[in-house]
């Protein structure tokens, strides 16, 4: 048995992103190169052994929503798309991403998702302050659960 979830983002983003943020978002989606400076998610700690066999922590950045392949557990394909909205004169974006995610990656992915919630347009915002980004689904469960950010934190499935 695997602990894999489907993560599905479907959202419209407001256009107040800087070029640096847009570049980093594209990198996280597997649509661009790694920027020189990371501003959205800055820490990617990994424990490795040094030359003397002692554990040390290194920062090893990796894009968080960049799988573009066949899904191994949830069926179908994994992909991310970021397109400029054509239905508005404002500089705005449409984001769709379908990924497989393990609970060990919830915290780091949550940093990016929390940032995305700050960029979501009004249709994704509830009166109670929650922002709905899409849904999650355990790979063996056909019923998805809303993917919500509330009070600056992702509400992950239990």
Q: For each of the chain's 158 residues, which pLDDT tens digit applies?
A: 579 999 999 999 987 889 999 999 999 999 999 999 999 999 999 999 999 999 999 999 999 999 999 999 999 999 999 999 887 767 789 999 999 999 999 999 999 999 999 999 877 888 888 999 999 999 999 899 999 999 999 999 87
Q: Which alpha helices (H) appear in 8-151, and where do they start and end?
A: 19-28, 106-119
Q: Which pTM was predicted?
A: 0.91
Indicate whether 50 belongs to any domain: no
Indicate whether 53 belongs to any domain: no
Indicate whether 123 belongs to any domain: yes
Would you state the pLDDT for residue 57? 95
Indicate whether 132 belongs to any domain: yes
DSSP β-bridge partners for residue 120: 13
Is residue 99 within 8 A of residue 134, CB to CB? The reply is no
Q: What are the φ and ψ backbone dihedral angles of 78, each rounded to 5 degrees?
A: -110, 135
The structural domain count of the chain equals 1
What domain range is 88 assigned to? 5-45+59-155
């Amino acid at each position: 048995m695997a602990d894999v979830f489907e993560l599905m983002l479907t959202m419209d983003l407001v256009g107040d992103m800087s070029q640096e943020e847009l570049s980093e978002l594209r990198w996280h989606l597997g649509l661009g190169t790694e920027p020189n400076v990371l501003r959205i998610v800055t820490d990617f700690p990994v424990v490795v052994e040094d030359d003397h066999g002692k554990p040390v922590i290194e920062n090893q950045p990796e894009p968080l929503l960049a799988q573009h392949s066949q899904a191994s557990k949830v069926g179908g394909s994994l992909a991310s798309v970021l397109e400029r909205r054509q239905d508005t004169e404002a500089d705005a974006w449409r984001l769709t991403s379908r990924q497989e995610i393990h609970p060990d990656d919830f915290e780091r992915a949550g940093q990016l998702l929390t940032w995305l919630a700050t960029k979501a347009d009004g249709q994704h915002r509830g009166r109670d302050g929650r922002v709905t980004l899409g849904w999650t689904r355990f790979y063996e469960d056909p019923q998805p659960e809303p993917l919500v950010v509330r009070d600056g934190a992702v509400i992950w499935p239990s």
